[in-house]
Structure 1
């Protein structure tokens, strides 16, 4: 094959993959995002952009193992019914305003401890059930679940998939990640609660005026004490391992293995909640990005972005925000990872990338998978429209991103 052909192939593969990531699917062949990334990764090897060995080396098995292991852990918690006890916690808050704040903190803190997508999967039906029984409009509470899950997930490297990728590629240890970003995450959760309370004050006030009936909720089945002790011991051990600086993937894998040692959950059922599409998407993007780097695609694109001043925090943040709401936050991180590694202080830029790629997810309904999960789960009983989300998402996104930029300049910008 002539020397120029792999370069052309690299350009075609990269452009097709990222265009489909932006529009959602390839209409002609009915390929979704994951499918086109897999085809693109395969084509990169087939057209000699990468050798099979180079494609193998492009895979970051640490990130893939971390993501897979955390999915197993959360899946077991869901199947055991541990996370369903959030229903009993939220039902303690009798006023609509109190319930709103409880959802903000439950979704935010839960997403910091687990993957935010799964927290949305668990909390959305609970919130719908509470809203229905109390006869209150579900919209502000659904927005609280989605937006708080994005903001809360910023606090730790295991809160969302892009954080896992950033922590792995940037070699950022768990304690450093939490110490740097948890304060910002917690403060922005407070901001979110205030914005939602202000924008829905009439709805919440009217709902508060309605008499609240004692209602029969579908409570989770009681769990034996030993299940609680065992589960808390495993999760506590994982947090200690993370905090002591051990390998995130290694600790998560040990936790997942320990979770499997139970007879209460069948392994096949636990694997049902694993997002295999996301794992394939990650693996494929590792290869597509490596092919784009070898073919000179990324170097040319980084040069083309110079007019937007990506070497400044504001310019870089604008690029990340646009990419996160078009191709998605994970592909955006893959695309910009090479640029970050070229900076004089890459760690600072990794943190900025984590902040913006996560918080920009609140700007629009399609800004994060967590938002789409909430909308999908609620579509039958309480549809969450793009416009309704945008009305709240823009102010929340702009305020939290501005605070994140100010915080970044305060800590790293000097």
Structure 2
């Protein structure tokens, strides 16, 4: 069964990567084969915590998609687009820096998926105004969201999972991961200047048109906007305080969506039209396929092999977690990967005599999983959501177009983290 599960996953991954068939068809086809082989059943797919669909992620996505759909009707995204275009003065690289910094900052306090749902409409609007190619900007923002989310407990789903398992607080993440995140963001901006240089077309000829626009005129209903922003602010606070409040982020997302619909009076056919159902179904299929690997013990065997390999060399263990998480997490979604690795790391940390050194292993796992999310088009939820959002607007971002940039960025980010981990925890 182990060989069969691996084969099914590899074939599905190849089909997704080569885009020979639609990614949803590849994922659901893989699930169908696993069901026929007896590796997956209804319980393991829908109800088992370790091998099934992560409904928290699915409902968080659904809630935030509805929230963004309602916000779109207020005109706030057009307002932000005109503001960013004016601040850039028609210089594409300056515009990219503005969007990257905003995305990374917001990404530190909101889930990266939520951030992309908020930022992507702005990006399409501003690039349309300045006649710029939208794909490089969208890819840069996805990566910025994943990098920025590394800094805090609530920034990326893997951090929430790690914090819960290891008993690490919001402050712990801020103290340990925020400094290196700032450094990585500076490095990333430098990489953007090189990687996306062909997109930096002089757009100053369109600035007269942009400067003549009145961003305040894009707000269709100020009272509605105020109500929606109050709800959005409450959702952000609830995300940050979800631990002490004892409320799951998915529940926060659904409550926020419900409140947004209530205060806006938006009709169901309007806000449900913006929900990217194909992305949600793709995630479900991906979770179940990875669950098949978990069921047959593949990921668990890899993790235990790594523990045996490092022995009592804890710096080596940290590097293995850092690099290994980026590699494996880059091939599958980081959420199910981290869920599988958590008990293995907990066992390893328990064997470390020095608590500070043991904690360093948790930080290495967080860095590897979060930054590894940039490696491929399916490595992180934000990537899949952004690509799906673009597709719905007629813009295609292929698996390899994203991955050729993402793999290089991830390699540079991980290489930059190795000396940080050494100097901070082992020197």
TM-score scaled by structure 2?
A: 0.71
Q: Quote the residue 2:177 is aligned against.
A: 181
Between the aligned partners of 1:243 and 1:306, the Cα distance in structure 2 is 33
Relative to structure 1, the CA distance from residue 52 to residue 369 in structure 2 (aligned partners, 3 Å threshold; closer, same or farther) is: closer
Between the aligned partners of 2:371 and 2:107, the Cα distance in structure 1 is 13
The CA deviation string for residues 160-216 of structure 1, in whole angstroms up to 9 with x for no partner, is 444444445555444544454344333322222222235566874x62775743247
1:344 CA drift (Å): 1.6
Query: Helix, strand or coil: the match of 1:342?
Result: helix
Q: Do residues 92 (structure 1) and 86 (structure 2) align?
A: yes
Q: Quote the residue 1:357 is aligned against.
A: 369
Q: Do residues 222 (structure 1) and 192 (structure 2) align?
A: no
Equivalent pair of 1:87/1:126 in contact (CA under 8 Å): yes
Equivalent pair of 1:153/1:160 in contact (CA under 8 Å): yes
Equivalent pair of 1:90/1:102 in contact (CA under 8 Å): yes
Between the aligned partners of 1:28 and 1:101, the Cα distance in structure 2 is 35
Equivalent pair of 1:70/1:256 in contact (CA under 8 Å): no
Between the aligned partners of 2:57 and 2:246, the Cα distance in structure 1 is 9
Equivalent pair of 1:55/1:287 in contact (CA under 8 Å): no
Number of equivalences = 397
Q: Quote the residue 1:246 is aligned against.
A: 245
Q: Which moved more, 1:262-271 or 1:370-379?
A: 370-379
Q: Do residues 102 (structure 1) and 103 (structure 2) align?
A: no
TM-score scaled by structure 1?
A: 0.73
Query: Helix, strand or coil: the match of 1:154?
Result: helix
Equivalent pair of 1:14/1:292 in contact (CA under 8 Å): yes
Match of 1:146 among 142, 146, 152: 142
Equivalent pair of 2:139/2:402 in contact (CA under 8 Å): yes
1:222 CA drift (Å): 1.9
Query: Helix, strand or coil: the match of 1:58?
Result: coil
Relative to structure 1, the CA distance from residue 164 to residue 277 in structure 2 (aligned partners, 3 Å threshold; closer, same or farther) is: farther
Relative to structure 1, the CA distance from residue 61 to residue 396 in structure 2 (aligned partners, 3 Å threshold; closer, same or farther) is: closer
The CA deviation string for residues 10-57 of structure 1, in whole angstroms up to 9 with x for no partner, is x356434543453246999995225534764793465xxxx9599845
Relative to structure 1, the CA distance from residue 334 to residue 143 in structure 2 (aligned partners, 3 Å threshold; closer, same or farther) is: same
Equivalent pair of 1:63/1:164 in contact (CA under 8 Å): no
Equivalent pair of 2:70/2:260 in contact (CA under 8 Å): no
Q: Quote the residue 1:403 is aligned against.
A: 416
Between the aligned partners of 1:174 and 1:253, the Cα distance in structure 2 is 23
What 5-or-longer segments of structure 2 have no aligned partner? 351-357
Listed as ranges, the matches of 1:386-397 within 5 Å are 392-397=405-410
The CA deviation string for residues 360-392 of structure 1, in whole angstroms up to 9 with x for no partner, is 233455544544555566679876677765665
Between the aligned partners of 2:339 and 2:15, the Cα distance in structure 1 is 17
Q: Quote the residue 1:6 is aligned against.
A: none
Q: Quote the residue 1:76 is aligned against.
A: 67
Equivalent pair of 1:352/1:408 in contact (CA under 8 Å): yes
What 5-or-longer segments of structure 1 have no aligned partner? 1-8
Between the aligned partners of 1:14 and 1:347, the Cα distance in structure 2 is 33
Relative to structure 1, the CA distance from residue 61 to residue 315 in structure 2 (aligned partners, 3 Å threshold; closer, same or farther) is: closer
Relative to structure 1, the CA distance from residue 292 to residue 101 in structure 2 (aligned partners, 3 Å threshold; closer, same or farther) is: same
Between the aligned partners of 1:411 and 1:260, the Cα distance in structure 2 is 47
Equivalent pair of 1:365/1:371 in contact (CA under 8 Å): yes
Match of 2:348 among 343, 363, 372: 343
Give the RMSD, CA atoms, in angstroms.
4.5
Between the aligned partners of 2:294 and 2:236, the Cα distance in structure 1 is 33
Relative to structure 1, the CA distance from residue 59 to residue 231 in structure 2 (aligned partners, 3 Å threshold; closer, same or farther) is: farther
Q: Quote the residue 2:302 is aligned against.
A: 301
Q: Which moved more, 1:139-148 or 1:353-362?
A: 139-148
Query: Helix, strand or coil: the match of 2:332?
Result: coil
Relative to structure 1, the CA distance from residue 27 to residue 314 in structure 2 (aligned partners, 3 Å threshold; closer, same or farther) is: same
The CA deviation string for residues 91-129 of structure 1, in whole angstroms up to 9 with x for no partner, is 222141321211111222343344434544554454355
Q: Which moved more, 1:336-345 or 1:111-120?
A: 111-120
Between the aligned partners of 1:387 and 1:88, the Cα distance in structure 2 is 31
Between the aligned partners of 1:237 and 1:377, the Cα distance in structure 2 is 25
Q: Do residues 291 (structure 1) and 295 (structure 2) align?
A: yes
